[in-house]
Amino acid sequence: MQKELFEVPVLYCNTDKATLRCAVAEDATGLELVVVDKNNSFYRTTFDVNSSLKKIKGDEKEWKAFYDSIIESCNSNDAKVVCNGNAEVTIGLAQFTVTKDASVKDGAYQMAQLLFDSINLRTDSKAATRFTEGLQKQEAELLRQVTAMEQEKRSLADMISFQEADEKANMEEYSTLQAQLSEITERWKVFCAENGKDPEAEDPDAPIEPDFSKPIGRRGTAQDCRKHDEELLRLAKSKFCPAENETVQTKALEGDNDNWLRVIRPYTKSQYDEHIKALPEGARAQCMKVIDKMDQWDYDVWVLQDLADKGSLFYTAYSVFCYWDFFRRFKIDEQIAMNFFTQVEAGYHACPYHNSMHGADVCHVAQYILQKGGLKEKAELTDEDCFATVVAGMIHDYDHPGLNNNFHVKIQSYLATLYNDRAILENHHLAEIFDLCKDPRFDIFHGFSDEQRRDVRETMIEMVTGTDMGLHAKIFGAWKRRIKQDHDLHKKKETQRQALVMAIKMADISNCGRPTFLYLRWGMKLIEEFFMQGDNERHRGDPVSPFMDRAAPSMSKSQIAFMNFVVVPMYESIAEYLPDMHFSVDHAEENKQYWNDNDDSV
């Protein structure tokens, strides 16, 4: 609000043709002019200080001088009014066009009313207070809007800086790949020359993909366990399971009970506090800030991926195991667990979306739903159920080729034949993991009895196959019917597992329930993966699947439909059972609104 404006009193002036009133507008946005002419017609217009009034004032004059000249002219009746449809008003040198208000039948009465109101305002202290309160409310509202806009500005700035970091990393990777490509091309040319082949005869645009007509070989790395930041693991471990005393750190390993100390010796609580305090700013400190958020919704795998040598899955899995104290609870050999995490991480492809970061993300969210979401308590889940959930989360898209089940069915791939077109990839993720665990170096289940192993395996199979969106209607329908009856899911293994399937399904599409900038980061990656499948289909001469055509993007339409028909109903019904998860519905609604405001369809 403009300070000078408030020094303008209510001014009246009479000309031979009309009566004129000039005062601060009720909403304090500018100067209001009111005119009543001889025919009793009424004219009224507010001149906004930021637009029309500014124009009338001109650039030369200061506001104070401008208002002073208006006041002086009014007080000395130096005003002219010409009424011809509108009222053309001249006050001193300033010219105003005041619009006729035909809805007012008795202009003089209305003018008298205004006069009465302003006298009232001066003499009636309550009216004056009401007026001031009105202004204060407006001010508070404006301030609120400013704060909201500042917040939005900050989150946009965040998003931009993330994108810049992303772009930089992509460019670096791109140049590494370029260098590798030119080396391979050279070797290819030499090979062709030696074997009498024509290097130009190959199709350079052919998408590179595994031969889907054969079983896909085991992925993973040659090393059992990846390179890792031992101090970071030590801090993560000490945060969640600190050593009871200093002897724990030095004693020699004796047996199964010490399995949890096989690799990393944790600090005691007080040592941990000291180390955290002394931790210099940098990548490790940033990673610890993420790990600190284990039971918060804004745990950020993107930061871990960038700062911990692409290890978001490895470090998340390790930290989650410490958080749930699984190493001790199930006597798991820490080295075997670290080998397992390494192989799981390496088994994810470098797809835009279905990569190891997605595995890390789903692992984190699934355990969030168990703990903070209240599922463990409400469904009275066992430790084995929680273990199965965490592991199912991290492996649920293992060896995902970035091409979906429909694609496999369409090209009749080896996997489609093997699994008879039923939950093809989901079966594959599970089978590969259980096969991996036949090797004792990677057997994450080695501490279990046969019965525990069977139980965990069944839960994991139920959960991971449940992530097949082709089964969504069936699974979700059964869930809705079940919770309509009652919420006593804890009474049967079958209904406990039903709840666990819903938890991993929610975790799998939890991007939609994240703050908008994170949701968009994931969304852009997913659409890129869709487009790559579309490219692949086009190259094969097949029709391009809906929403996968790069040439006809329709992310807004597909996302709004997905939100309306899948995400929001599912989140709402989960929140009905777990009220602590309700906040995700609000995020989903906000994200839907984003696409309503930013339609990208052509």
> Which tokens in the block code for residue 59?
């650039």
Residues 221 to 280 in contact with Zn ion, rule: CB under 5 A: none
Q: How many other C-beta atoms are found inside a 10 Å radius of the C-beta of residue 225? A: 19
| Single-letter code of the amino acid located at 442 | F
Q: Which is nearer to Zn ion, 306 or 397 (CB)?
A: 397
Nearest distance in Å: CB 374, Zn ion: 23
In angstroms, rounded to a whole number, what is the distance separating the alpha carbons of residues 334 and 321? Answer: 10
Q: Is 37 annotated as a binding residue?
A: no
Q: Is 468 a binder of Zn ion (CB under 5 A)?
A: no
CB of 567 to Zn ion, least distance (A): 14
As measured in angstroms, the least distance from the Cβ of 532 to Zn ion is: 16
Handedness of CA 164, 167, 171, 176 (dihedral sign): positive
Q: At 144, list the tokens.
A: 């609120």
Task: State the catalytic residue, choosing from 228, 275, 354, 446.
Answer: 354
- The reply, when asked if residue 396 is annotated as ligand binding, is yes
Residues 6+ apart with CB under 8 A from 196: none
Give the residue with the Cβ less far from Zn ion, 429 or 482: 429
Task: Please indicate if the annotation marks 364 as binding a ligand.
Answer: no
Residue 104 or 461: the one with the smaller Cβ distance to Zn ion is: 461
Q: Between residues 37 and 508, which has the closer beta carbon with respect to Zn ion? A: 508
Binding residues for Zn ion, rule CB under 5 A, total: 2
Distance CA 285, CA 291 (A): 10
In order, the DSSP letters of 16-36 are SSEEEEEEE-TTSSEEEEEEE
232 contacts 316 by C-beta, under 8 angstroms: no
- How far apart are the C-alpha atoms of 467 and 500, rounded to whole Å? 11
The stretch near Zn ion (CB under 5 A) out of 41-49, 165-173, 392-400, 484-492 is 392-400
Q: Which long-range contacts (CB under 8 A, 24 or more apart) does 151-160 make?
A: 155/515, 155/516, 155/517, 156/517, 158/517, 159/517, 159/520, 159/521
The token pair that represents 385 in the structure block:
């159920």
**Local structure of 80: helix, strand or coil:** strand
* Shortest Cβ 518–Zn ion spacing (Å): 16
Residue (360 or 416) nearer to Zn ion, CB: 360
Catalytic, 354? Answer yes
559 labeled part of a ligand binding site: yes
CB of 401 to Zn ion, least distance (A): 13
Place of tokens 């192989």: 343
User: What minimum distance in Å lies between the beta carbon of 353 and Zn ion?
Assistant: 8
Least Å distance, CB 507 to Zn ion, is 8
Q: Measure the CA–CA gap between 522 and 532, rounded to whole angstroms.
A: 15
- Per the annotation, does 349 bind a ligand? no
State how far the Cα of 409 lies from the Cα of 415, in Å rounded to an integer: 9
Question: Helices 334-347 & 383-395, crossing angle to 10 degrees?
Answer: 40
Q: Which of 333, 397, 426, 468 binds Zn ion (CB under 5 A)?
A: 397
Beta bridge partners of 83: 87
Does 354 count as an annotated binding residue?
yes
Q: How far is the CB of 508 from Zn ion (least distance, A)?
A: 4
Number of Cβ within 10 Å of residue 175's Cβ equals 10
Cβ(83)–Cβ(18) under 8 Å?
yes
x/- site string to Zn ion, residues 352 to 391, per CB under 5 A?
----------------------------------------
> What's the helix, strand, coil split of the chain in %, to 5?
60, 10, 30
Q: How far apart are the first and last CA of the chain?
A: 43
Least distance to Zn ion from the beta carbon of 411, Å? 21
Question: Comparing C-alpha atoms, which of 512, 217, 542, 552 is closest to residue 406?
Answer: 542
Nearer to Zn ion, 32 or 508 (CB): 508
Distance of alpha carbon 5 from alpha carbon 63, whole angstroms: 8
Please say whether the beta carbons of 406 and 412 come within 8 A.
Answer: no
User: Judged by CB under 5 A, which stretch of 309-317, 394-402, 407-415, 564-572 contacts Zn ion?
Assistant: 394-402
Site residues for Zn ion, 471-510, by CB under 5 A, read 508
* Coil/strand/helix, residue 44: strand
Restricted to residues 507-526, the positions that interact with Zn ion (CB under 5 A) are 508
From residue 263, alpha-carbon distances to 235, 253, 274, 391 in Å are 13, 10, 22, 20
Which of 397, 266, 257 lies closest to 327, judged by CA? 257
Instruction: Please say which residue, 330 or 348, places its beta carbon nearer to Zn ion.
Output: 348
Based on CB atoms, which residue is closest to Zn ion, 366 or 437? 366
- Nearest residue (CB) to Zn ion, 11 versus 548: 548
Q: Pattern 121-140, binding to Zn ion, x per CB under 5 A?
A: --------------------
Q: Which stretch binds Zn ion (CB under 5 A): 100-108, 206-214, 395-403, 566-574?
A: 395-403
Could you list the residues known to form a binding site for Zn(2+), using ranges.
358, 396-397, 508
Residues forming the active site: 354
Which amino acids are annotated as binding site, given as ranges?
Answer: 354-358, 396-397, 508, 559
Residue numbers at the binding site for Zn ion (CB under 5 A): 397, 508
Which residue numbers belong to the known binding site for AMP? 354-358, 397, 508, 559
